[in-house]
Structure 1
């Protein structure tokens, strides 16, 4: 089986075209010799941009609702979601390194145009749902800390466009440094809040054990699917397969194998760190709200107001607001990059960097502003949770193509995924699809 002229395996219909994020493609040097840790360090970064999907404001609303209503029970969903995320993100890195394509480009190459356009619309829908959650979350964070009205806060979030442009001009490493720094701030904020909340650690450990009630209780399933949608996000699959290619890892098989190993370590470690943050949101809600009988807390604003009196420390709400603001900034940056990858990969639309980012951000800000003005603070929590369920319903349309491509030796060459990994990935894809069918049946039954 001979590779194509551009060095990729022969199972693709077309030569590998222009890369998405062309301004930073293969811009980060990778050492070919020297200590292993120095070579591995070159790959640290993309995993943390992906891990941001764990901690977006929509996930906060879902986890706070789950923790306040059902205590520690849904921690097992966070754990299962994390395992799913690790497997799927490793496949994204594999696809990118083996084929030189991101997931959007691979879909455009492999499917007829009508199918590719449908997948593009679904991907854009997922990104809009993500952006709505993140824009609103950032606006709430600005409101909680500085008292800025929500409507004005939504407009201020547009400034992230200029932040990304400035940082990428300095180099993609600066974008990654911003994300990792803000993740560190979030971790410190939650560590302090968890220490103040003093949760029941025995119940926390039991919360990671599975229970059938999650599937049989429609309300619990709704929140569980929301947590799943907030964890394994469709746009993360497109994002990871694009930003892995910011590394100049070479074209030979040994270089690609090394790149795959280090990229997988990066995403796995980052997602384990994200699990700690994700679980801590739910633990904090369970240890403060559920413990005191306040089982209906779903709004981020309410959580912010209640933390001070419940924990008895004035700084607790401020820490919550700071962490939320950092989450919102991080998430808007990564969703904007994902939007760029999806637009370029599916449609081959090449625009000036500032213009394509402005379009991606505008697609999110317009509906977010409308919803914020129309519903105000009261409706944002329900909207945040709904966006996560929408993401969950979109997920299968990104997962199944990803698994199909990485299982195809003609497309992947020597880097085709091993059979055990593909079997596990198909199991994950089927479980996600089955949960979504269950959710739709419940919706239809409830409507009827």
Structure 2
């Protein structure tokens, strides 16, 4: 690994596509630490690349998504499943671009911004990204605290403080190697997957209604309330910090630094993230389907809070384990997002500013930024204030998203920067359409939140 890091430090001067030369690798402690077989079967190579996509998928099923999915199902039955599907397809497209950027240029998205933009612009992008990571961390803190409260009766205030101790787990895993982080993340994703698989069985949803819900409906645009929740689902699905994260962690694989080696790495990294994001699609769709089957069909259309859903699931589904499974999945979701949030924070600070802090110190700073507002709101407004805080975190994420998506699309479409790995014209055109749609919808969501 040291030789790989040294190779980056002594890299040749930049091409005309970059203002600054490539220096330190992203996440130097795990950079190219996992070997990739040069020979062997397709499956063997795919397994070697499997992992980063699942860390990315975590952000698409974090506690911040739950409130919008619950509200969408309770109010409008299965209609908004099409929005979840479209959001997921957008996510698959954007994450494939991040893998392409990281492998082709040897830079994560934060480093690419640092090497392209002026210092004032770069600093502004860094600040917005830090704000988004803090907002995402806030959702994780609240989600985990709510889960601890539902499962063990721990008061929310104490639950928030307990979640701050996860920095110890992160440090232990980082010391053991990157595969350990991937293993625990995949285990927690499988926990969420199994919990919602059982919930789907218990809720006995209408299969015909589900299939119809995946077909886009004109009613979504015509109904202002439905449109607003649809925009909330879109805004909560594509996470800006995931774009920085993915472009970095694909570089943990020791693929060959040749044209063939990089092309193969891009292919397998894209397959990995696509499969993982399909699992995220199942989870998000399952939350909405569960809400539609349990709440909409029984007239409980006002359910939007996670705590309300937990209290109603057992009597409505006629099973004593329905609420427990829901809370276990929420806890797994919150803790999973914590691990990836730690890495994203490190990548962003090191990438934009080239400042390297001890992982425990970086995590402590991010945690305090999230914990302080959570403690204040819970102390002043009690349990009901957490819902508003979750919504606020999603609005902040929506604000920052375009500042990550547009540079990504711009860099990957630039042949001077990407060389032979530049995104094909059809892919770049589609990416620009997605970037414009995201920017427009998130602006509308922000306006509606402020006005409303």
Give me the TM-score of the superposition, normalised by structure 2: 0.95
1:386 matched to 2:392? yes
1:404 matched to 2:428? no
In structure 1, runs of 5+ residues without a counterpart are none
In 2, the alpha carbon distance for the partners of 1:199 and 1:281 equals 12
Q: Paired residue for 1:353? A: 359
Q: Paired residue for 2:4? A: none
Out of 130-139 and 24-33, give the one that drifted further.
24-33
Query: 1:69 and 1:7, CA in 2 relative to 1: closer, same or farther beyond 3 A?
Result: farther
In 2, the alpha carbon distance for the partners of 1:312 and 1:255 equals 54
How much does 1:370 deviate? 2.1
1:263 matched to 2:269? yes
In 1, the alpha carbon distance for the partners of 2:24 and 2:377 equals 37
Residue 55 of structure 1 aligns to a residue whose secondary structure is coil
8 Å CA contact 2:58, 2:280 repeated in 1: yes
Residue 104 of structure 2 aligns to a residue whose secondary structure is helix
How much does 1:191 deviate? 0.8
Q: Paired residue for 2:169? A: 163
Q: Paired residue for 2:22? A: 16
Out of 376-385 and 397-406, give the one that drifted further.
376-385
8 Å CA contact 1:81, 1:228 repeated in 2: yes
Among 31, 34, 38, the residue aligned to 2:40: 34
8 Å CA contact 2:232, 2:445 repeated in 1: no
8 Å CA contact 2:144, 2:330 repeated in 1: yes
In structure 2, runs of 5+ residues without a counterpart are 1-7
Matched residue pairs, number? 444
Q: Paired residue for 1:323? A: 329
Residue 210 of structure 1 aligns to a residue whose secondary structure is coil
Query: 1:398 and 1:443, CA in 2 relative to 1: closer, same or farther beyond 3 A?
Result: same
Q: Paired residue for 1:123? A: 129
Q: Paired residue for 1:101? A: 107
Q: Paired residue for 1:425? A: 431
Q: Paired residue for 1:188? A: 194
Measured on the aligned residues, the alpha-carbon RMSD in Å equals 1.7
8 Å CA contact 1:218, 1:442 repeated in 2: no
8 Å CA contact 2:395, 2:446 repeated in 1: no
Q: Paired residue for 2:5? A: none
Q: Paired residue for 1:249? A: 255
In 1, the alpha carbon distance for the partners of 2:190 and 2:371 equals 27
Q: Paired residue for 1:416? A: 422
How much does 1:37 deviate? 1.4
Among 41, 47, 50, the residue aligned to 2:53: 47
Out of 39-48 and 399-408, give the one that drifted further.
39-48
8 Å CA contact 2:82, 2:213 repeated in 1: yes
8 Å CA contact 1:222, 1:389 repeated in 2: no
Query: 1:358 and 1:20, CA in 2 relative to 1: closer, same or farther beyond 3 A?
Result: farther
Q: Paired residue for 2:342? A: 336
8 Å CA contact 1:71, 1:287 repeated in 2: yes
How much does 1:230 deviate? 2.1
Q: Paired residue for 2:236? A: 230
8 Å CA contact 2:399, 2:446 repeated in 1: no
8 Å CA contact 1:403, 1:426 repeated in 2: yes
In 1, the alpha carbon distance for the partners of 2:393 and 2:27 equals 26
Among 207, 211, 216, the residue aligned to 1:210: 216
8 Å CA contact 1:308, 1:316 repeated in 2: yes
In 2, the alpha carbon distance for the partners of 1:249 and 1:6 equals 20
How much does 1:276 deviate? 0.7
1:283 matched to 2:285? no
Structure 1 residues 41-69: Cα deviation after superposition (integer angstroms, max 9, x where no partner): 11100100110111111111111111111
Query: 1:363 and 1:234, CA in 2 relative to 1: closer, same or farther beyond 3 A?
Result: same
Structure 1 residues 259-310: Cα deviation after superposition (integer angstroms, max 9, x where no partner): 1000000000000111011100000000001111111111111110000000
In 2, the alpha carbon distance for the partners of 1:428 and 1:160 equals 35
